[in-house]
Amino acid sequence: MRFRRWMWLIVVALVLPALPVRAGPAGLTFTIGVDQEVVGLDPNLVTAFSSFRRIDFLYNKLVRYNDRLEIEPDLAESWEFPDPRTVVFRLRRGVKFHSGAEMTAEDVKFTLERVLNPETRSPGRSFIDVITAIETPDRYTVRLKMQFPLASLLSGLASANLSIVERAAVQRFGNLQRNVAGTGPFMMAEWVPDNFMRLAKNPNYFRRGMPRFDTLIIRVIPDQASLLAGVRTRSLDMATINQGSVITAARRESGLTVMQKAGLNLRIFAFNTTRPPFTDPRVRYAFSFAIDRNAIVNTAEFGYAAVSGPVPASTPWATPAAQFTSYRQNVERARQLLAEAGHPRGFTTRIVTSPTYEGGIAVAQVIQEQLRAIGVTATLENIEWGTYINRWVARDFDTMIELRGGDPDPDRFLYRTFHSTGAVNNFLFKDATIDRLLERGRVNLDPDRRKPIYVELEKALIEAAPALFLYTPMETQVLQGYVRGFKIIGNGALYFLEEAVAER
């Protein structure tokens, strides 16, 4: 008698998972999986990459990148440079914020001033701090005056930190971490932190006919294998994956599309140029000859990356990596350089790394092995992420594996990283020639005159070697086969989801 009750329990237990989950909201729904939750939603304040991708759905900027990484109009329908220090934007008319109010030049002026205000502590400030005056001659025109010509200005304005916010909303709420006041294709409907976010279609979105579905659900699933399982079972329509092993598993499945595009993040091996023996540029340059970048790509990223110089290989500004002499592994030359610098028998050193993706432990292990050939014994300091950041901020390292966020415009990434006054120059690197090249590169608006400067700059950076430039990982999205129309961009942004449709 009791036994039969147990039997029933077991039967129910086995049948339970197969029952259908409750029906979702009415209309077309698209579900994407991400592995990190956002901390806040205020575009001018957030720092994390995961937050940028979320903000893309809720806000627009003056300009944005298309899938070929070219600047295209977003809220500004056209712009011109009457002189190198002035730019005039003409805004689209009739664009509405989610509240229903119209977006005008006043909101643009407010947003830019907010970002420029040091008290806001906006990460986007350094992208546009060259602006000295913001004028609004009429309701749909914004004129910016700059201290000196800045070639990367448009690129800075295309950053998610420069999304245009509604002045009235900021004045009402103080900040927009919990309240959305944008013009974007989706509006906030429901947010259960660490679980999911539900966005509803913006019926007044200025791009007619978009987005093509009514509800966007963003689910947070921290484990990449579980993300893939979600796509496999159709509980997710799309997921962002960056672990090489999971990408390989996804490619083997029929019915799934794996979209990949060359990315903009740059993996580097950083030196603290104030710590011997790395005070000598010959030692640093020797390391460049000692390592085999292709082996690193194949081991750490399963081949899903492109070997790169200081300018991300995916951008038109980059010199093809094959042209760099030190990129061909040459252990003899490396040994020779070390001997010249006074270390014929090598030395010992330490590499700081972390188990997170940014910390690149796999890269550290490969490099550690490769350095043995030139007599360098490297010990790995594998530390937890918070401790890693602490060491980074304190510049307390000999060498370090890092992942830097690049940009389609070479100036925005290179200047702050390698100029002697650069804020994220944690190599403590000072080189007058490179400083001058960086300064010249940013003020020349003409691409034909800019390109040779950056060719020279890349060469100089590789030889001076404040860091070894390794590779740019690919951006990867795994989608159901029935998803059409999505365009993947190298900077990982997802705003082209507004054009996608799921033909189930």
Residues at the contact surface with other proteins, assessed by CB under 8 A: 2, 6, 9-10, 13, 16-19, 21-22, 39-40, 47-48, 118, 121, 123, 126, 177, 192-196, 219-223, 225-226, 229-230, 232-235, 358, 384-387, 389-393, 402, 404-405, 416, 423-424, 426
User: Taking the complex as a whole, how short is the minimal distance between the CB of residue 459 and other proteins, in angstroms?
Assistant: 26
User: Taking the complex as a whole, how short is the minimal distance between the CB of residue 89 and other proteins, in angstroms?
Assistant: 26
Query: What's the gap between Cα 404 and its chain centre?
Result: 8
Omega within 30 of 0 (cis) for the link into 473: no
User: Taking the complex as a whole, how short is the minimal distance between the CB of residue 366 and other proteins, in angstroms?
Assistant: 22
**Read out DSSP for 404-450?**
EE--SSHHHHHHHHHSTT-TT-TT----HHHHHHHHHHHH---HHHH
User: Taking the complex as a whole, how short is the minimal distance between the CB of residue 289 and other proteins, in angstroms?
Assistant: 27
Residue 360 DSSP label: B
User: Taking the complex as a whole, how short is the minimal distance between the CB of residue 504 and other proteins, in angstroms?
Assistant: 15
The residue (of 118 and 203) whose beta carbon lies closer to other proteins is 118
User: Taking the complex as a whole, how short is the minimal distance between the CB of residue 385 and other proteins, in angstroms?
Assistant: 6
User: Taking the complex as a whole, how short is the minimal distance between the CB of residue 44 and other proteins, in angstroms?
Assistant: 13
Of 186, 183, 208, the residue nearest 62 (C-alpha): 183
Whose tokens are 């259908």? That residue is 20
The residue (of 143 and 395) whose beta carbon lies closer to other proteins is 395
User: Taking the complex as a whole, how short is the minimal distance between the CB of residue 5 and other proteins, in angstroms?
Assistant: 11
The residue (of 325 and 421) whose beta carbon lies closer to other proteins is 421
The residue type at 500: A
The residue (of 70 and 233) whose beta carbon lies closer to other proteins is 233
The residue (of 83 and 194) whose beta carbon lies closer to other proteins is 194
The residue (of 72 and 396) whose beta carbon lies closer to other proteins is 396
Contacts of 304 (CB under 8 A, 6+ apart): 244, 247, 260, 473, 474, 476
The residue (of 71 and 229) whose beta carbon lies closer to other proteins is 229
The torsion angles phi and psi of 8, rounded to 5 degrees, stand at: -60, -40
The residue (of 439 and 463) whose beta carbon lies closer to other proteins is 439
User: Taking the complex as a whole, how short is the minimal distance between the CB of residue 72 and other proteins, in angstroms?
Assistant: 25
User: Taking the complex as a whole, how short is the minimal distance between the CB of residue 467 and other proteins, in angstroms?
Assistant: 13
CB–CB of 57/497 below 8 Å?
yes
User: Taking the complex as a whole, how short is the minimal distance between the CB of residue 123 and other proteins, in angstroms?
Assistant: 5
The residue (of 40 and 73) whose beta carbon lies closer to other proteins is 40
The residue type at 19: L
The residue (of 64 and 404) whose beta carbon lies closer to other proteins is 404
Of 328, 334, 321, the residue nearest 290 (C-alpha): 334
Residues paired with 186 in a beta bridge: 201
The residue (of 395 and 459) whose beta carbon lies closer to other proteins is 395
Print the SS3 string covering 267-287: EEEEECCCCCCCCCHHHHHHH
The residue (of 36 and 336) whose beta carbon lies closer to other proteins is 36
Identify the H or E element spanning 362.
helix 361-371
User: Taking the complex as a whole, how short is the minimal distance between the CB of residue 214 and other proteins, in angstroms?
Assistant: 19
**Rounded Cα gap, residues 425 and 361, in angstroms:** 22
In 84-235, at which residue ranges do the beta strands (DSSP E only) sit? 86-91, 131-138, 141-146, 186-192, 196-201, 215-220
Whose tokens are 């893309």? That residue is 56
**Rounded Cα gap, residues 182 and 197, in angstroms:** 16
The residue (of 265 and 326) whose beta carbon lies closer to other proteins is 265
**Rounded Cα gap, residues 288 and 297, in angstroms:** 15
User: Taking the complex as a whole, how short is the minimal distance between the CB of residue 420 and other proteins, in angstroms?
Assistant: 14
Contacts of 61 (CB under 8 A, 6+ apart): 74, 75, 157, 158, 159, 160, 162, 163, 164
- DSSP H stretches of helix in 59-213: 105-116, 125-128, 153-157, 167-173
Whose tokens are 């080189």? That residue is 431
Contacts of 279 (CB under 8 A, 6+ apart): 273
**Rounded Cα gap, residues 28 and 216, in angstroms:** 9
Of 57, 279, 25, 60, the residue nearest 165 (C-alpha): 60
